[in-house]
Structure 1
Amino acid sequence: MNKIAVLGLIEERSELLKSLMKMGVVEIDQVEPDEELRDRIQNPNVQNDLAKIDNSLTEILRALDILSQYVPVKKPMFSARRIVSESDYSAILKNKNKILADADKINRFEDEIAKMKSEENRIKTLLTSLNPWLELDIPLDVINTRYTFCYTGSLPSGTDLKKFQEAIQGEFPESDLLTGKSDADHHYVMLIGHKSIETEMLSLARAWGWNRIVLRDVEGNAKRSKARLEERLQSLLKEREEKIKGIIKMADERERLETIYDSLQMDRAKIEAKSRLISTRSAFLLKGWLPAEHSSKVTEYLDEHYFCMVEIEAPAKDEEFPVLLKNGPVVESISPIINMYGVPSSLEIDPSPITFPFYIFFFGLMLGDGGYGILIALFTGIILKKYRLEDSTRVFMKLLFFCGLSTILAGFLFGSWFGIASLSKTALWIVPTEQPELMMSYSILIGIIHMYTGLFMKALNLIRRGQILDAVFDVGFIYVMFTGFILSLLPFAPGISISSSSGIVQAGYKIFIVGVVLVLATNGRKSKNIFGKIFGGLPRLYDVVSFFSDCLSYTRILALGLASAIIGDIVNTLSAALGGNFIVKLLVMVPILLFGHTLNFALNALGAYVHSSRLQFLEFFGKFLEGGGQAFKPLKANTKYIIIKTENNLFLNSGLKTGIV
């Protein structure tokens, strides 16, 4: 990775940033002007520009969501962004304003549809409120005359209407009651009376539980009002259908809307990048990073197309720089696992090449059934061959493909194929269900090799920084201590018969003591006081306990492998134990086998993925990987819907070396 600095003319700033985005290999750092120069040099204020673009992005995204709602597009199971040529992209950009207007039109259609739906719901509510009064031939919009009042209302369903009428008319002879329909909860009653007795009559009615109902937007009697509202409702439905048809007709604009959306995203990224530069009235300064392999080509391109000065500089020996991991087509498949843990420091060795074989080997041993491995390899292989995938999906599918191959290897080693017990005799190595104790020891041995490799990586990182003595003291002496500890525990290893008086065990005791002495003597060396130098190594002795605990963690290889084999065998035994004639047996056996093996495969494949990752994150990376690196984030077109095929893609396609660039 190299540093890059570009000093250019302000009028060429936008075009230069556009070119850098097409290249997609330059990360732009934030540059701050010196305090004494802030009155003449400053970072451009881009807040208004960003707000304007964000508003347009919101409008387009909403329009696309509306189109997806009314005109859904069925996408394949594995879909990738569309590839658009630079000429087609430019042609669409020429109609940018029209396309933005189309997005606004779609959104207005949806707003009008929403208003219509609201009005329809209001009318439906009114129609429901009119139902109790349909049998009354009296204008509901007249609630009073010069001398009378006429109020609609309801009574609880438990009220005796006859007694209620007698009570009202007995108290107020100059009144009348009109009864509408009743339902399970209410009686609907209209009170008519002289205005002189309105207050007293309403008080008495309320004492019986009568509540006034105000009917709005009615004209004439209930039947007439209902007919008018139904006519209005039908008109709204037709109008809404026309708006929906208008949206559907604009479905052909979907791809252009997507293109403009990504165009605005790119504009936004360029504006954000512009804010990281420092500028005067006539010039600007850009600083950042780019892969060393691209330095000469980027410099040549900028010198040829712009009036600017480009300076390339290698980072200092111990200077941190953005991390870009580049590996071959096989090893790159482990990047999803590495990225889940975090980005390694730029001063560390790329852990990908050494993590890859361990990860897929652990996955294979944990799933353990070659038949399941065939399914994984076939499924992912077909996807990789048939579909054009996004990079992240393609890399993950490749990882699963290699895990499938590893599981097939485990099937040969264990003689395990779809849980068929009779095939265990074909095992090339060991049958875990028959020798679980020995398999446990093998699992621990594999774990020891894994952790020793992690310590070796730690030593390489120390040597890379010139700390050769630290590599000897902090790794070499730990090797000695751990090796002696392992050899001294061999008599207790399950499935292995080694006497505690054997030479290798006795040698282990001595090696362990030597290792402890060396660790105690050297691990306090960095302490500034004599007490720390003498006793500073004591805490490192606890590493023995931690190492033993880590060794036991690898027994999960045995546990998951046994689970897969045993459950598969149980499924096969259950299906074979069914009686009846051949046809009945077949009809029952096939669903049991399909369901049982699908469940076994899903659970144990997920378990293998999770626990293989765990062994890398805790037991392996914990030995050497410090992390804390910053991922390389170049200025490039991070699009959602399209990929623009530009000449710069070919111009920079030089092939990078593996490792941390």
Structure 2
Amino acid sequence: MIEKVKKVNILVDKDKENEILDKLFHLNLVHISSFKEEDLNDFSCFTKPISKTSYQEELYEIDFALSIFKQFGVGESGFFKSFFPDKQILLRNEFDKIVENFNLKDFYRNMSELSSKFNLLIEEENVLKEEKHYINIMKSFPFQYSIFSGTKLTKSICFTVKNRDLAILSSEENSFLSDIFFYPFETEKDSTKAFILYLNEDDDRVNSLIKKYNVSIIPHLENITGFIEEEVERINLKLTEIEKEKTVIKSKIKDYYKFKINLLALKDFYNSLKFKDNTLENFLQGKEVALLKGFVKEIEVNKILAVSNDKDCIVMISDPEKDDIVPVSLRNIPLFRPFEFLVKLFGVPSYSNVDPVPVIAVLFSLFFGIALGDAIYGLVLAIFGFFFRRKYREDAGAHNFFSILLYGGIMSIIVGILTGSFAGNLFELYFPSGAITGVIKSVRIIDTLSPTGSVNFLIFAIGIGVVTQLLGVIINIITKIRGKNYLDAIFNGVGWLLFLPGLVLLLLLSKFPFLKIFDYSLIIVGVILLLLGGWNSVHSFMFKPVAALVNIYGIRSSYGVTSFLGDTLSYSRLFALGLSSSILASSFNMMAQVIGNMFGGFGIVPLLLVLIATQSLALMMSVLGAFIHSMRLNFLEFFGRFYDMGGYEFKPLGFEFKNIIVDNKEEVKNNGKHGNSWSSF
């Protein structure tokens, strides 16, 4: 259900607005809202204050430290953990100790120094690796590398030249090469590396030879000065030292990881304070007083009224007005609560709308179960969901997600039993005369792999679509009645609720002729109401007849015959998904059997390996398809009939813990998980 809320206006002495804000923050009950533009016109003598504190520096330091842990791969890892990290639990007094004692500045400075030092080591390591690569190229060079420094009168270069060009060079420039120092020091299959030392006055001649004979100069690194053996020893020694220093830094960062929960606690703390200080901008300040507007849940009004007992402020409670944008708080029984996750994923309904969570809980589970449609797959998914639901019971988001998988798995077990699908035809193929196979056949209602069964399954899926669409129309009628749009509820609500079932019953008149009068009555009354709805929707008399006619098509109305047919047929995807899951699983069963037979008496091992691998793949594909298409049928085909997501979530001013879980109990339940020293930094 959508919880009832009250509008609250708080008038406070201007000098005590921060004090009142702190009280509201610790109460964690009031959703603060900003004043509308027209309200500002009514309070022209009031101004809006500007928040002075942003806590950006603290939040940057926290994010920087957390990014260092991620950069060095410290802590939790793995594909599953990346989506559902374990939220750690802190007692309230532990959280308070972190806030009071943890020195974030020192911790940030230490992490920053380690990161900077590590980056410098990486840069130095890259330079040494570049030198090592160069030495590998020049490994046969026999002289000291300092020879490349030359003198005031000489220059030197190393180069690579193709053997064919070298032969021509040696022949054509023999006299010049005799006048300079020319020393080939490494010959390979196609090329030769050579060194020349020449006078400065021969520089132009050397450059012309380089161009003429396609010579490739080997650049010289200034850091290298000694013999190759000395340089190799120097580089390897330095690389070893750098690796040791890197290991020390990584070890220190790994030790600091135990303070990650401190960082996460402070991140939630400062984000909450930032939200509180930003809320200060929602005040309207006058010369002597300040005004704040918000909303509070009806069941918690008395707690807010208690704030005014100290006479520092005046609290005024009233019902929301029609043009107010009212925040929405969903409250459902534990069985349905996980499906609030799906509704919020699509968008929070408006305050005047109907809470769709209970209906979505039933429909999503049903759609998912039909689309997956296998008892063994459902059992595996239900066990998976049950296990991780318990594991993440303190994390609301993860708990809700795995609860949805649990419910979907249970529904898939039921559908699988009724359709006789147990990992496809696993039992029928491998144990055709077994007792379990006999039980499966005896309880099976529809054989989806048979022609008749497939047709019945398709009709069943489309029938679900018809019922779901009519349910959406009913909810739309309720919403319009709650909004006091009575004529629209009758003409464009009840009209469709009579006309559409009448169209469906036309298909059944050949089998049930006694329904003819009833069916025609539904269609006639429905058409009349729809025509009146279209007639009433425009003011110009000239266009009223046209509007009445097109209302049935759906142009003037929120619905239409074509929309009904299209959306209803869309539910045939449930049939397609359920059938494809069974066919795919059965195909993998036969493939595993063929592979097992190829190995004769030893075929049981490859058969099981192939069976487990292929069925696991089929399970993941089927679950993904069932989840996506079940959401589509709810969000697009069903929500399109009535849903108005014009609302936004009720978010009270107070601490919001996104990264940790704070337990207000006094007893320690963490088994020493947080035994680190809070005042170490």
Q: What corresponds to 1:143 in structure 2? A: 149
In the aligned structure 2, how far is the partner of 1:610 from the partner of 1:242? 47
Q: What corresponds to 2:448 in structure 1? A: 432
In structure 1, give the amino acid aligned to 2:301: S
Q: Secondary structure at the match of 2:185?
A: strand
* 1:504 pairs with 2:509: no
Residue 221 of structure 1 deviates from its aligned partner by 4.4
**Residues 153-552 of structure 1: pairs in structure 2 closer than 5 A:** 153-161=158-166, 163-165=168-170, 167-171=172-176, 173-182=178-187, 187-212=192-217, 213-279=219-285, 284-300=290-306, 302-303=307-308, 307-317=312-322, 319-420=324-425, 421=428, 422=437, 423-427=439-443, 429-434=445-450, 435-490=453-508, 498=511, 502-505=513-516, 508-509=519-520, 511-542=522-553, 543-552=560-569
CA RMSD across the alignment: 3.4
Residue 394 of structure 1 deviates from its aligned partner by 0.9
1:84, 1:642 within 8 Å by CA — same for their partners in 2?
yes
In the aligned structure 2, how far is the partner of 1:82 from the partner of 1:306? 41
In the aligned structure 2, how far is the partner of 1:476 from the partner of 1:366? 31
Gap regions ≥5 residues in structure 1: 492-496, 649-661
Cα 1:138–1:163 change in 2 (3 A) is farther
Q: Secondary structure at the match of 2:184?
A: strand
Q: Secondary structure at the match of 1:388?
A: coil
Q: Secondary structure at the match of 1:397?
A: helix
Cα 1:76–1:552 change in 2 (3 A) is closer
Cα 1:159–1:27 change in 2 (3 A) is farther
Equivalent residue for 1:118, pick from 123, 132, 135: 123
Q: What corresponds to 1:25 in structure 2? A: 29
2:148, 2:220 within 8 Å by CA — same for their partners in 1?
no
Q: What corresponds to 1:81 in structure 2? A: 87
Q: Secondary structure at the match of 2:49?
A: coil
Residue 50 of structure 1 deviates from its aligned partner by 4.7
Q: What corresponds to 2:99 in structure 1? A: 93
Residue 40 of structure 1 deviates from its aligned partner by 7.4
Q: What corresponds to 2:573 in structure 1? A: 556
Q: Secondary structure at the match of 1:145?
A: coil
Equivalent residue for 1:4, pick from 1, 8, 20: 8
In the aligned structure 2, how far is the partner of 1:174 from the partner of 1:488? 110
In the aligned structure 1, how far is the partner of 2:190 from the partner of 2:268? 57
Residue 170 of structure 1 deviates from its aligned partner by 0.8
Q: What corresponds to 2:679 in structure 1? A: none
- Equivalenced residues, count: 636
In structure 2, give the amino acid aligned to 1:540: N
In the aligned structure 2, how far is the partner of 1:521 from the partner of 1:76? 57
In the aligned structure 2, how far is the partner of 1:620 from the partner of 1:35? 42
In the aligned structure 2, how far is the partner of 1:229 from the partner of 1:587? 53
1:53, 1:268 within 8 Å by CA — same for their partners in 2?
no
Q: Secondary structure at the match of 2:73?
A: helix
Q: Secondary structure at the match of 1:178?
A: strand
Cα 1:5–1:191 change in 2 (3 A) is same
Q: What corresponds to 2:675 in structure 1? A: none
Cα 1:638–1:55 change in 2 (3 A) is same
Q: Deviations over 1:538-595 (max 9, x none)?
A: 1122222322232222222322222233333344445456547985242233223323
Cα 1:228–1:410 change in 2 (3 A) is closer
Q: Secondary structure at the match of 1:403?
A: helix
Residue 442 of structure 1 deviates from its aligned partner by 2.5
In the aligned structure 1, how far is the partner of 2:390 from the partner of 2:240? 54
Q: What corresponds to 1:591 in structure 2? A: 609
Residue 85 of structure 1 deviates from its aligned partner by 2.3
Q: What corresponds to 1:655 in structure 2? A: none
Q: Deviations over 1:576-624 (max 9, x none)?
A: 5654798524223322332343233222222222222222223221111
Q: Secondary structure at the match of 2:206?
A: helix
Q: Which moved more, 1:203-212 or 1:451-460?
A: 203-212
Q: What corresponds to 1:653 in structure 2? A: none
Gap regions ≥5 residues in structure 2: 429-436, 554-559, 667-681
Cα 1:18–1:586 change in 2 (3 A) is farther
* 1:604 pairs with 2:622: yes
- TM-score normalized with structure 2 length: 0.83
Q: Deviations over 1:391-422 (max 9, x none)?
A: 11111211221222222222343333333454
In the aligned structure 2, how far is the partner of 1:475 from the partner of 1:35? 40
